[in-house]
A and B are shown apart, each in its own frame.
Chain A
């Protein structure tokens, strides 16, 4: 097996230490950072997403795989920047104001990166104005909002409203999180909803027209 194949397998199996070591080995062997992403990480995460959709794996296994992917990405990102490689699409994401849960959102971040999006992560407890200024600054095609608490769903409503009325460049809005439903997404005028991090990738690609 080549190093890239081994890396792909380590990410899929959620072996974070191996993933990090193999990424380093690939770099040492002279692999181009962009190739490591395209030929090892993207297919690995695509496979993880597919298996998740087929109910072959669940959230715990996905989190473990995502962490392995993150280890690899942490090593690669400086190289990608240095090589001037920027993905075609940009997404801004954050957990809405008042909510501090980010494990699910972080998973979406990794899956989006795995689908070769540039992802600007605003973190948790993000006020609407911060989404607006990030949209103005980074000109993303997509903005993602996550909420995990019944009581922060109103903050999501408010954030969508402010993004829509702030006069910032047009952007697709996608929402998600355990209490969120498709119906709620429709009601608040979001462009898309995903129930999990696997379908969040398909939905994102569809919304930006990459699918």
Chain B
């Protein structure tokens, strides 16, 4: 028997929803989900986010526990997960932003843990481009804004690399050369983003004029350089950014070539100078923002950002790990590209290395981050390495000419014929990896201890960054990169910066969520934390 009636007003018209007696007590969001109108309950229906807000047109809604009217938010809207309909007739309007259009999903190289709506940031645009500008790599994808489908992807090195490998070198250039800001802007736009966009459009079979929107997630320095804003103040104490807020441009203002007169480019907001929009995007895409925790977002890259959330507390830091896990600065290191060794399995007696190479090619290019993680673990397991990161004497004796010595110390040959000679892992490489690992591990334990949490308490650690979605978590834990954690606490999330940009294109309310995340997050300066140095030194050793 139906005892109640709700009239729903959605962007595509009116719908009547009837209720049985047993459904009267259900949260409105749950009832609507049963009736084929799922809302964006990003926080799991706990009243923490604004994803399921509806507008009451006529009649009355009630609180879940009693008959009082539910509190309305600043917008006058009501959270459907915190309200029920009751017996009387009501009319409720569901804005597009609250209607779930997509369920959490793995999209290309990233995972999205929240549902999202179809309420595009730039109304009227047919196709949008999401861009992640990394210091090293730029990734772009085209999205059909009507269906949410990915049309094409493209990625390339950031052409700014020739002006310096890390952000500080590029900032330093800007502080000494007045023309550098404009030059760096032109380089990333003309040589990297425009060509990637053209390539993706070509692949998708659409014209550049069809792209009506672009969202950009990146670290704060990259956003300054894209906008043509001098990042000099970010290079020296107190490391202040000229801007962190969301910004909107017309493509031609930045030299971008796409769209017509109404096209828009949106630079996403970020929390701090060294915790950028890439992390704000990640906090939303992983759902960390709606997670009661204890939860962590760890981005294993040159800056090594870590964000921790426990209840309402949201804090973050940059650990300055350096680029070792991206393969930079190591004897045979390379990025995770075609031909890179991505997996390593070792046998000590007699020495043998089983290598997994991306694309299955015969002549490897070099070793990428995930394989270095394997190596550290495997070499410990087989007694090849000591806890200090040095080869054991016993191994060196029996390894024959697999181990060689030069002026820098000893090195082990993993493959005799790589694309540019033998592939080596040297003790100096290992020392660099240990320093990067120690920075990340120490940053993590320092943040957690500020929140009085131990690693074992962490419910979910979202692991983002250059490792993509492919890394042995056992080995990452085993080599001490993620100390005190277990595999079932960790979720690989890939390039969540691109994921967040992809979300903001399609669901404008998520831009507001990124703005809120950026304002809420408190940046922690690790150098002011008395425990950091000790933790760093502790974590230099291999377990």
Which residues of A pack against B, CB within 8 Å? 55-61, 63-64, 67, 97-103, 106, 124-125, 149-152, 155
Q: Are A125 and B237 in contact (CB under 8 A)?
A: yes
Nearest-CB residue, chain B, relative to A103: B533
Q: Are B235 and A60 in contact (CB under 8 A)?
A: no
Nearest-CB residue, chain A, relative to B408: A55
Q: Which residues of B have CB within 8 Å of A106?
A: 533
Q: Are A124 and B168 in contact (CB under 8 A)?
A: no
Q: Which residues of A have CB within 8 Å of B525?
A: 100
Nearest-CB residue, chain A, relative to B437: A60
Nearest-CB residue, chain A, relative to B406: A55
Q: Given contacts A55-B408, A64-B537, A124-B527, could you give 18 more A-B pairs where the C-beta distance is less than 8 Å? A: A57-B390, A58-B389, A58-B431, A60-B438, A60-B541, A61-B388, A61-B389, A97-B237, A99-B237, A102-B533, A103-B533, A103-B537, A125-B237, A149-B235, A150-B172, A150-B235, A151-B168, A151-B171
Count of CB-CB pairs between chains A and B under 8 Å: 63
Q: Are A103 and B536 in contact (CB under 8 A)?
A: yes
Q: Are B389 and A60 in contact (CB under 8 A)?
A: yes
Given the interface pairs A59-B435, A60-B434, the reply to whether A151 lies near B235 with Cβ below 8 Å is yes
Question: Which residues of chain B in 372-421 are interfacial with respect to chain A, using CB atoms and an 8 Å cutoff?
Answer: 388-390, 407-409
Q: How far is the CB of B303 from chain A (nearest CB, A)?
A: 13
Q: Are B537 and A98 in contact (CB under 8 A)?
A: no
Q: Which residues of A have CB within 8 Å of B237?
A: 97-100, 125
Nearest-CB residue, chain A, relative to B176: A154
Q: Are A58 and B533 in contact (CB under 8 A)?
A: no
Q: Are A58 and B427 in contact (CB under 8 A)?
A: yes
Nearest-CB residue, chain B, relative to A101: B527
Q: Which residues of B have CB within 8 Å of A100?
A: 237, 525, 527
Residue from B236, B435, B527 in contact with A151 in the complex, judged by beta carbons closer than 8 Å: B236
Nearest-CB residue, chain B, relative to A155: B236
Range of interface residues on B (Cβ < 8 Å): 20 to 34
Q: Which residues of A have CB within 8 Å of B407?
A: 55
Q: Which residues of A have CB within 8 Å of B533?
A: 102-103, 106
Cα distance A173–B534 in the bound complex, in angstroms: 29
Residue from A57, A67, A152 in contact with B236 in the complex, judged by beta carbons closer than 8 Å: A152
Output the residue of B237, B428, B438, B534 with the most chain A CB within 10 A.
B237
Q: How far is the CB of B221 from chain A (nearest CB, A)?
A: 12
Q: Which residues of B have CB within 8 Å of A99?
A: 237
Q: Are B169 and A58 in contact (CB under 8 A)?
A: no
Q: Which residues of B have CB within 8 Å of A64?
A: 537, 540-541
Q: How far is the CB of B476 from chain A (nearest CB, A)?
A: 19
B285-299 CB contact bits vs A (8 Å, 1 = yes)? 000000000000000
Q: Which residues of A have CB within 8 Å of B472?
A: none
Q: How far is the CB of B62 from chain A (nearest CB, A)?
A: 55
Q: How far is the CB of B49 from chain A (nearest CB, A)?
A: 36
B419-453 CB contact bits vs A (8 Å, 1 = yes)? 00000000110010011001000000000000000
Given the interface pairs A55-B407, A99-B237, A100-B237, the reply to whether A151 lies near B172 with Cβ below 8 Å is yes
Q: Which residues of B have CB within 8 Å of A97?
A: 237
A-B contact pairs, 29 of them (CB 8 A): A55-B409, A55-B427, A57-B390, A59-B435, A60-B435, A60-B541, A61-B388, A61-B389, A64-B537, A64-B541, A98-B236, A98-B237, A99-B237, A100-B237, A100-B525, A100-B527, A101-B527, A102-B533, A103-B533, A103-B536, A103-B537, A124-B527, A149-B168, A149-B236, A150-B169, A150-B235, A151-B171, A151-B235, A152-B236
Cα distance A67–B533 in the bound complex, in angstroms: 10
Residue from A60, A124, A151 in contact with B540 in the complex, judged by beta carbons closer than 8 Å: A60
Q: How far is the CB of A117 from chain B (nearest CB, A)?
A: 21
Q: Which residues of B have CB within 8 Å of A59?
A: 431, 435
Cα distance A64–B435 in the bound complex, in angstroms: 12
The 5 A-B pairs with the shortest beta carbon distances in the complex, nearest first, are: A151-B235, A60-B540, A98-B237, A58-B431, A100-B527
Q: Which residues of A have CB within 8 Å of B348?
A: none
Given the interface pairs A98-B236, A150-B168, the reply to whether A57 lies near B388 with Cβ below 8 Å is yes
Cα distance A55–B390 in the bound complex, in angstroms: 11
Cα distance A150–B428 in the bound complex, in angstroms: 22
Cα distance A125–B534 in the bound complex, in angstroms: 20
Q: How far is the CB of B371 from chain A (nearest CB, A)?
A: 21
Q: How far is the CB of B167 from chain A (nearest CB, A)?
A: 10
Q: Which residues of B have CB within 8 Å of A102?
A: 527, 533
Q: Which residues of A have CB within 8 Å of B171?
A: 151
Q: How far is the CB of A208 from chain B (nearest CB, A)?
A: 28
Cα distance A56–B409 in the bound complex, in angstroms: 7
Cα distance A57–B388 in the bound complex, in angstroms: 9
Nearest-CB residue, chain B, relative to A152: B236
Cα distance A99–B435 in the bound complex, in angstroms: 19
Cα distance A58–B408 in the bound complex, in angstroms: 10
- Tell me whether B491 is interfacial, beta carbon within 8 Å: no
- Tell me whether B345 is interfacial, beta carbon within 8 Å: no
